[in-house]
Chains A and B, each alone.
Chain A
Amino acid sequence: MLKVAKLTTALAIGMLIGTVPVTQAAASATNDRCSEMDYSQGLCAKAGVADGAVELGATTEVPASGGSGSSNNSADGVSFEAGAPVEVVDTVGESWCDLQRLPCVPWTPPADAATGPVTISDIATFRPQPPTAGMQPNQWMIVGLATNFYANASAHVVDGTLFGGTAQVRFTPIAYNWNYGDGTTATLGTAGTTWAKQKIAEFDPTPTSHAYDTPGNYTITLSVTYAAEYRVAGSSWQNVVGTLTIVAPPLTATAGHATTVLVDKDCIANPTGIGC
């Protein structure tokens, strides 16, 4: 009882003098402490405000699957996975890249591209909406607690022309491939969403959450695999052979241990204060 009463008093005093507790993500190497020796060498991890930033535009390399030659175009962004790869490199792949105005990976068409069913290569002029990745908390994680990652990607229809007539292509996300940057990856069937939309508390595990074991800076990459269907002149939706994988702009974030500090003003009153 006495302890509770004392705690209440302490809280009341804290509120009276306007102290505001702020939780920080504190990144650390093996030890939070920073000796002069480590500091001089640049070996200390920042315990306070992380200065990571979200990078816009994909920078993760996607290995070409079955393609050869045009390694000068081996940048990032979009990769194809067509039905049955053969040795021949088709130039349609590159034109697809040009049309999409996206960094692109050379690809190999299915063997029956010329005579068989409609493939991904046939719908090259249809540009899908690129996915984006989101995370909570934004740009930082607490070691051992769930970080909620989610993809912003949904089924959508794109208008265009196919075989000389108007047509529509419907892209449907079927897999969300996460590379968490800590050596683990996951392929999920669900995009996930925010904690608030799931009506659960922050740091609760979600079907798409991931927990980091070690403090550090991480780059998290999402790629979304789409299936496609097409229809021409009011016909029913027809399947398109192959899938399309698009890489979202990677997220960079810092994992650390949580530290609570007391500050005398909030971030509005003191925007340059610690943790603001």
Chain B
Amino acid sequence: MRLPNLVRAAGGALLLALLSGCAPSDASTPPEPIATFVAPYATDEEALAAAEEAYAEYVRVSAEILLEGGADPERLGDVVVGEFLESSIVGLRKFAEEGKTQTGTSIVGNAELQRYSPTSGPRELITIYVCRNISAVDVLDSSGKSIVTSERDDSSIMQVTFDYNEPRDALLVSDQQLWSKGKC
């Protein structure tokens, strides 16, 4: 008599547990991903290295356009994406119209990974902090006069975010923000 009672009590407890949702159930199966995204980098180190490479390319292409007075700003589409691309092109067209030019070369210093989010999809995949030194860079108006403001720091930390472009297997800059003063 005792054993069946115990079994019955145990069964009741199990039923209660199931009803109250304490027991693991099929409901906790993770939802299907919206699109199948395979993270392109296995480790944070790989992600940072790829981001540094992509950023160097971004700085190179940007400088090329600016040194040519803002000519063919659409070239930026190779390295930049989204709204940042659109606003950058608009700005560069104005730069060209006003006859401005840039001189000198900037330095890209050390970079640090802020985050790599391999499971959240290709947008804003990686954000890094990177040091920039633009002490040798000058911007001139059409009369050859420098228009650099006095607030500009020679060296700064940038926060740069990249989207991953799957067809091209490339990281493209989707956002850049001046983060703080830096030293490099």
Contacts and interface: CB of A to CB of B under 8 A. Distances in A.
A33 B87 contact: yes
Consensus secondary structure, chain B interface: mixed
Interface in A14-47: 26, 31-47
A36 B28 CA distance: 46
B157 A40 contact: no
A40 B133 CA distance: 10
A37 B61 CA distance: 12
A32 B176 CA distance: 8
Interface string B86-101: 0110011001000000
A261 interface: yes
Contacts of A33: 83-84, 87, 175-177
A31 B87 contact: yes
Nearest to B153: A42
Interface residues of A, number: 26
A262 B132 CA distance: 22
Contacts of B158: 34, 39
Interface string B62-96: 11001000100000000000011001100110010
Interface residues of B, number: 42
Interface in A29-82: 31-49, 51
B70 to A, nearest CB: 8
Interface string B164-177: 00000000000111
A2 interface: yes
Contacts, number: 90
Nearest to A32: B177
A34 B116 CA distance: 21
A2 B115 CA distance: 26
A262 B115 contact: yes
B139 A40 contact: yes
Contacts of B159: 47-48
Contacts of B110: none
A162 interface: no
Contact of A51 (B70, B114, B177, B181): B181
Interface of B: 27-28, 58-59, 62-63, 66, 70, 83-84, 87-88, 91-92, 95, 102, 106, 114-115, 129, 132, 134, 137, 139, 147-153, 156-159, 175-181
Interface of A: 2, 5, 26, 31-49, 51, 261-262, 274
Closest 5 CB pairs of A and B: A42-B152, A36-B62, A42-B149, A48-B179, A44-B178
23 contacts: A2-B27, A5-B28, A31-B87, A32-B177, A33-B87, A33-B177, A35-B84, A35-B88, A35-B92, A36-B63, A36-B176, A37-B66, A39-B134, A40-B106, A40-B137, A42-B149, A42-B152, A46-B179, A46-B181, A48-B180, A51-B180, A51-B181, A274-B179
